[in-house]
Amino acid sequence: MTVSILSAHLPGDRVRALLDAAEKADGIAAFSEAFVQGLDDARLRHTHFLAEDNGQVVACAGLAEDGSAELVVHPQRRQEGIGEALAEAVRAEDSDAGLWAHGNLPAAQAMAASLGLRVDRELLVMGIDAEEIPAGGPDLPEGFEALNYVEAGKRWGRDVVDKQWLEVNNDAFSWHPEQGGWDLERLRRAMEAEWFDPAGVQLLYHGDELAGFHWTKRHPDGTGEVYVVGLASRYRGEGMGGPLMQMGLDHLVQAGSAQVILYVEADNEPAVKRYRQLGFAVRETHVVYR
């Protein structure tokens, strides 16, 4: 078995069968959307590590510029030390790299223990069934208006709407390692995703000022997702979080989603509490090991 590092070449389809086999065995995807995209998109500038046996890829790791990494080993080649070898290769490239373990499965826990790694970050997937979501649209105070991205673009133009969206996003997520600090290129690259639906981006306006956004996503199986919700700092504490949340939930239910999920940091106790009050319950746990 050989381990190779690809910094200028993209593994693309060479890894997809491996990812499919792992997801079928584990019941959860080993790579997140961004890391799947990084297999083919050089703009993300991911470094890839491949473990090959007789020319067949049996394991792969991806390392992003921000130090986050994801790793997958073929189900039939686990417990052979391949995962540990790839993890060590990633850490040799970036000594502070954080290794994501989606689902925090026993194999990932065992590998982390063997390398002396500990949980550094915990991300929860919370979900709710559609019938538990209150029917009807949001109750907006006077002066506020709900529009989707298409409607707002027709009124003010795409460039204006995108600028407003970026400002609110970077204000709301100035603290966030993945969602903060976006530029226009990053936003529009995200909008290139196959699943992107401009009508699924719900925008809350106060006059001609964007107060917040609720970016929704629908998965191939129809599952809805509260993809990103951001509220401008000047509108916090005014009770607008609930209506903004309801805007997206109502859109997803109307689109036919039988359930809705969201991702939230486990240590964001106020948010977790709020989502529990809305009826969401924890369904998966994802962690970063360092």
> Is 18 within any annotated ligand binding site?
no
> Is 217 within any annotated ligand binding site?
yes
Which residues does 1 contact at the CB level (< 8 Å), separation at least 6? Answer: 51, 52, 53, 58, 82
List 52's β-bridge partners, or say none.
2, 57
SS3 11: coil
CB 21 within 8 A of CB 74: yes
> Is 149 within any annotated ligand binding site?
no
> Is 71 within any annotated ligand binding site?
yes
> Is 272 within any annotated ligand binding site?
yes
DSSP letter for each residue of 177-226: TTTSS--HHHHHHHTTSTT--GGGEEEEEETTEEEEEEEEEE-TTS-EEE
> Is 88 within any annotated ligand binding site?
no
State the Cα–Cα distance between residues 182 and 211, nearest whole angstrom. 18
Helix (H) or strand (E) holding 288: strand 281-289
DSSP 238: T
> Is 270 within any annotated ligand binding site?
yes
> Is 268 within any annotated ligand binding site?
yes
> Is 178 within any annotated ligand binding site?
yes
> Is 72 within any annotated ligand binding site?
yes
> Is 269 within any annotated ligand binding site?
yes
Compute the 3-state secondary structure of the chain and give helix, strand, coil in percent, each to the nearest 5: 40, 30, 30
User: How many other C-beta atoms can be found within 10 angstroms of the C-beta atom of residue 5?
Assistant: 15
> Is 161 within any annotated ligand binding site?
no
User: How many other C-beta atoms can be found within 10 angstroms of the C-beta atom of residue 151?
Assistant: 16
> Is 33 within any annotated ligand binding site?
yes
> Is 172 within any annotated ligand binding site?
no
State the Cα–Cα distance between residues 37 and 42, nearest whole angstrom. 9
> Is 104 within any annotated ligand binding site?
no
> Residues within the annotated binding site for acetyl-CoA?
71-73, 229-231, 268-273
> Residues within the annotated binding site?
33, 71-73, 178, 217, 225, 229-231, 263, 268-273
